[in-house]
Amino acid sequence: MAQKILIVEDDRDIARLVQYNFEKSGFSCVVFYDGAEALAYLQKRKADLLVLDIMMPGMDGLEVCRTIRADEKLKKIPVVMLTAKGEEVDRIVGLELGADDYLVKPFSPRELVLRVKAILRRGKSAEDEREILSIGVLSVDLSGHTVSVDGRTVDLSPKEFELLVLLMRRRGRVQTRENLLADVWDIHTEISTRTVDTHIKRLREKLGKPGKLIETVVGVGYRFRSEDDED
Protein backbone atom coordinates (compact mmCIF):
# COMPACT_ATOMS: atom_id res chain seq x y z
CA MET A 1 0.00 0.00 0.00
CA ALA A 2 1.29 3.45 -0.93
CA GLN A 3 2.37 5.72 1.91
CA LYS A 4 -0.03 8.61 2.46
CA ILE A 5 1.11 12.25 2.40
CA LEU A 6 -1.14 15.01 3.73
CA ILE A 7 -0.54 18.29 1.89
CA VAL A 8 -1.80 21.36 3.75
CA GLU A 9 -1.34 24.38 1.49
CA ASP A 10 -3.76 27.24 0.78
CA ASP A 11 -2.15 28.10 -2.59
CA ARG A 12 -3.97 25.69 -4.90
CA ASP A 13 -1.35 25.86 -7.67
CA ILE A 14 1.45 24.91 -5.25
CA ALA A 15 -0.75 22.20 -3.71
CA ARG A 16 -1.36 20.68 -7.15
CA LEU A 17 2.37 20.85 -7.99
CA VAL A 18 3.34 19.10 -4.75
CA GLN A 19 0.59 16.50 -5.16
CA TYR A 20 1.65 15.75 -8.75
CA ASN A 21 5.27 15.15 -7.78
CA PHE A 22 4.43 12.91 -4.83
CA GLU A 23 1.94 10.83 -6.78
CA LYS A 24 4.46 10.54 -9.61
CA SER A 25 6.85 9.05 -7.02
CA GLY A 26 4.32 6.46 -5.89
CA PHE A 27 2.77 8.19 -2.87
CA SER A 28 -0.91 8.60 -2.09
CA CYS A 29 -1.91 12.22 -1.37
CA VAL A 30 -4.72 14.03 0.40
CA VAL A 31 -4.85 17.81 -0.02
CA PHE A 32 -6.27 20.37 2.39
CA TYR A 33 -6.34 24.16 2.01
CA ASP A 34 -7.09 24.73 5.68
CA GLY A 35 -5.17 23.62 8.80
CA ALA A 36 -8.21 22.92 10.96
CA GLU A 37 -9.68 20.61 8.31
CA ALA A 38 -6.41 18.68 8.10
CA LEU A 39 -6.39 18.18 11.88
CA ALA A 40 -10.00 16.97 11.80
CA TYR A 41 -9.02 14.44 9.12
CA LEU A 42 -6.08 13.19 11.20
CA GLN A 43 -8.34 12.52 14.17
CA LYS A 44 -10.21 9.94 12.06
CA ARG A 45 -7.66 8.66 9.55
CA LYS A 46 -3.96 7.86 9.42
CA ALA A 47 -1.22 9.61 7.45
CA ASP A 48 2.47 8.80 7.10
CA LEU A 49 3.71 12.41 6.81
CA LEU A 50 2.44 15.98 6.69
CA VAL A 51 3.68 18.66 4.27
CA LEU A 52 2.60 21.88 5.91
CA ASP A 53 2.47 25.51 4.76
CA ILE A 54 2.92 28.09 7.52
CA MET A 55 1.09 31.18 6.29
CA MET A 56 -2.56 30.15 5.97
CA PRO A 57 -5.80 31.91 6.89
CA GLY A 58 -7.40 30.78 10.12
CA MET A 59 -5.13 28.24 11.81
CA ASP A 60 -1.60 28.72 10.53
CA GLY A 61 0.97 25.96 10.05
CA LEU A 62 2.82 26.69 13.29
CA GLU A 63 -0.37 26.17 15.28
CA VAL A 64 -1.12 22.98 13.35
CA CYS A 65 2.36 21.64 14.14
CA ARG A 66 2.06 22.66 17.80
CA THR A 67 -1.31 20.88 18.07
CA ILE A 68 0.03 17.70 16.46
CA ARG A 69 3.03 17.51 18.78
CA ALA A 70 0.78 17.99 21.83
CA ASP A 71 -1.59 15.21 20.77
CA GLU A 72 -0.71 11.74 22.07
CA LYS A 73 -2.31 10.10 19.04
CA LEU A 74 -0.69 12.33 16.39
CA LYS A 75 2.64 13.43 17.82
CA LYS A 76 4.78 10.86 15.97
CA ILE A 77 3.62 11.94 12.49
CA PRO A 78 6.60 13.52 10.67
CA VAL A 79 6.05 17.15 9.62
CA VAL A 80 7.80 18.98 6.77
CA MET A 81 7.19 22.72 6.69
CA LEU A 82 7.01 24.31 3.24
CA THR A 83 6.84 28.08 3.45
CA ALA A 84 7.83 31.48 2.12
CA LYS A 85 9.04 32.45 5.61
CA GLY A 86 12.77 31.93 5.11
CA GLU A 87 14.35 34.01 7.85
CA GLU A 88 16.60 32.18 10.31
CA VAL A 89 14.25 32.89 13.20
CA ASP A 90 11.36 31.34 11.26
CA ARG A 91 13.37 28.15 10.69
CA ILE A 92 14.29 27.98 14.36
CA VAL A 93 10.70 28.42 15.50
CA GLY A 94 9.51 25.72 13.11
CA LEU A 95 12.16 23.24 14.20
CA GLU A 96 11.66 23.96 17.89
CA LEU A 97 7.94 23.29 17.50
CA GLY A 98 8.86 19.81 16.29
CA ALA A 99 9.06 20.03 12.49
CA ASP A 100 11.27 17.32 10.99
CA ASP A 101 12.37 19.48 8.07
CA TYR A 102 11.85 22.99 6.68
CA LEU A 103 11.89 24.04 3.01
CA VAL A 104 11.63 27.61 1.80
CA LYS A 105 9.65 28.71 -1.27
CA PRO A 106 10.52 28.80 -4.10
CA PHE A 107 11.54 25.17 -3.76
CA SER A 108 12.53 22.19 -5.86
CA PRO A 109 9.70 19.61 -5.95
CA ARG A 110 12.30 16.90 -6.52
CA GLU A 111 14.24 17.97 -3.42
CA LEU A 112 11.01 17.96 -1.39
CA VAL A 113 10.24 14.39 -2.47
CA LEU A 114 13.81 13.26 -1.70
CA ARG A 115 13.71 14.82 1.77
CA VAL A 116 10.37 13.21 2.55
CA LYS A 117 11.68 9.82 1.40
CA ALA A 118 14.72 10.25 3.69
CA ILE A 119 12.49 11.06 6.69
CA LEU A 120 10.22 8.09 6.04
CA ARG A 121 13.21 5.81 5.49
CA ARG A 122 14.69 6.80 8.87
CA GLY A 123 11.35 6.11 10.53
CA LYS A 124 11.10 2.69 8.88
CA SER A 125 14.63 1.78 9.99
CA ALA A 126 13.75 2.64 13.58
CA GLU A 127 10.63 0.47 13.40
CA ASP A 128 12.58 -2.48 12.03
CA GLU A 129 15.21 -2.39 14.76
CA ARG A 130 14.80 -4.61 17.80
CA GLU A 131 17.23 -2.94 20.12
CA ILE A 132 17.17 -1.50 23.62
CA LEU A 133 19.78 0.99 24.76
CA SER A 134 20.32 1.04 28.51
CA ILE A 135 22.59 3.08 30.75
CA GLY A 136 21.89 2.81 34.47
CA VAL A 137 18.21 3.58 35.11
CA LEU A 138 17.77 5.00 31.60
CA SER A 139 16.29 2.64 28.99
CA VAL A 140 15.42 3.38 25.36
CA ASP A 141 13.32 0.89 23.38
CA LEU A 142 14.03 1.61 19.71
CA SER A 143 11.33 -0.68 18.33
CA GLY A 144 8.68 0.64 20.69
CA HIS A 145 9.96 4.22 20.42
CA THR A 146 9.72 4.60 24.21
CA VAL A 147 12.01 5.96 26.92
CA SER A 148 11.89 5.13 30.62
CA VAL A 149 13.83 6.23 33.68
CA ASP A 150 13.78 3.76 36.58
CA GLY A 151 10.64 2.20 35.08
CA ARG A 152 8.87 5.55 34.64
CA THR A 153 7.91 6.44 31.07
CA VAL A 154 9.38 9.71 29.79
CA ASP A 155 7.41 11.51 27.08
CA LEU A 156 9.80 12.83 24.41
CA SER A 157 9.11 14.59 21.13
CA PRO A 158 10.32 12.80 17.95
CA LYS A 159 13.37 15.05 17.69
CA GLU A 160 14.23 14.68 21.38
CA PHE A 161 14.04 10.90 20.94
CA GLU A 162 16.32 10.97 17.87
CA LEU A 163 18.77 13.24 19.67
CA LEU A 164 18.93 10.99 22.73
CA VAL A 165 19.42 7.83 20.65
CA LEU A 166 22.21 9.44 18.62
CA LEU A 167 24.04 10.67 21.73
CA MET A 168 23.70 7.31 23.47
CA ARG A 169 24.94 5.39 20.44
CA ARG A 170 27.95 7.69 20.21
CA ARG A 171 28.56 7.63 23.95
CA GLY A 172 31.89 9.10 24.96
CA ARG A 173 32.36 10.91 21.63
CA VAL A 174 31.87 14.66 21.40
CA GLN A 175 29.19 15.74 18.93
CA THR A 176 29.38 19.27 17.59
CA ARG A 177 26.19 21.27 17.25
CA GLU A 178 26.71 21.31 13.49
CA ASN A 179 26.96 17.51 13.41
CA LEU A 180 23.78 17.18 15.46
CA LEU A 181 21.91 19.54 13.12
CA ALA A 182 23.09 17.49 10.14
CA ASP A 183 22.38 14.05 11.64
CA VAL A 184 19.14 14.73 13.53
CA TRP A 185 17.58 17.58 11.56
CA ASP A 186 19.30 16.89 8.22
CA ILE A 187 20.32 20.55 8.00
CA HIS A 188 23.65 21.40 6.40
CA THR A 189 23.26 25.17 6.02
CA GLU A 190 24.68 27.94 8.16
CA ILE A 191 21.69 28.12 10.46
CA SER A 192 21.94 29.08 14.13
CA THR A 193 22.63 26.12 16.40
CA ARG A 194 20.40 27.51 19.17
CA THR A 195 17.75 24.93 18.34
CA VAL A 196 20.19 22.17 19.39
CA ASP A 197 20.80 23.87 22.74
CA THR A 198 17.06 24.24 23.30
CA HIS A 199 16.40 20.56 22.62
CA ILE A 200 19.30 19.48 24.86
CA LYS A 201 17.94 21.64 27.68
CA ARG A 202 14.47 20.11 27.37
CA LEU A 203 15.91 16.60 27.11
CA ARG A 204 17.92 17.04 30.31
CA GLU A 205 14.88 18.35 32.16
CA LYS A 206 12.67 15.47 31.05
CA LEU A 207 15.24 12.77 31.87
CA GLY A 208 15.94 14.08 35.36
CA LYS A 209 19.07 12.55 36.94
CA PRO A 210 20.20 10.69 33.74
CA GLY A 211 19.99 14.03 31.94
CA LYS A 212 23.18 15.00 33.78
CA LEU A 213 24.98 12.38 31.67
CA ILE A 214 24.57 14.70 28.68
CA GLU A 215 27.72 16.72 29.14
CA THR A 216 28.42 20.14 27.61
CA VAL A 217 31.86 20.40 26.06
CA VAL A 218 32.45 24.15 26.11
CA GLY A 219 33.05 25.65 22.70
CA VAL A 220 32.50 22.32 20.93
CA GLY A 221 29.18 20.58 21.58
CA TYR A 222 27.81 17.72 23.66
CA ARG A 223 28.83 14.25 24.83
CA PHE A 224 26.89 11.45 26.49
CA ARG A 225 28.93 9.76 29.18
CA SER A 226 28.27 6.54 31.05
CA GLU A 227 27.55 6.44 34.75
CA ASP A 228 30.98 4.91 35.24
CA ASP A 229 32.50 8.22 34.12
CA GLU A 230 30.98 10.15 37.01
CA ASP A 231 33.28 11.33 39.73
* Domain regions of the chain by residue span: 4-127, 129-229
Q: What are phi and psi of 153, to 5 degrees?
A: -70, 135
Q: Shortest CA distance to 185 belongs to which of 79, 89, 113?
A: 79
Is a pLDDT exceeding 50 seen at residue 231?
A: no
Helix, coil or strand: residue 36: helix
- Fold designation for 129-229: Arc Repressor Mutant, subunit A (1.10.10)
Q: Return the percentage of the chain with pLDDT > 90, whole number.
A: 56
Is a pLDDT exceeding 90 seen at residue 205?
A: yes
List the alpha helices (DSSP H) in the chain: 12-24, 35-42, 61-70, 88-96, 109-128, 158-169, 177-184, 194-207
CATH (one of 1.25.40.10, 3.40.50.2300, 3.30.1330.10, 3.30.1360.150) for 4-127: 3.40.50.2300
Give tens-digit pLDDT for 3-31: 999 999 999 999 999 999 999 999 999 99
Q: Which helix (H) or strand (E) holds 155?
A: none
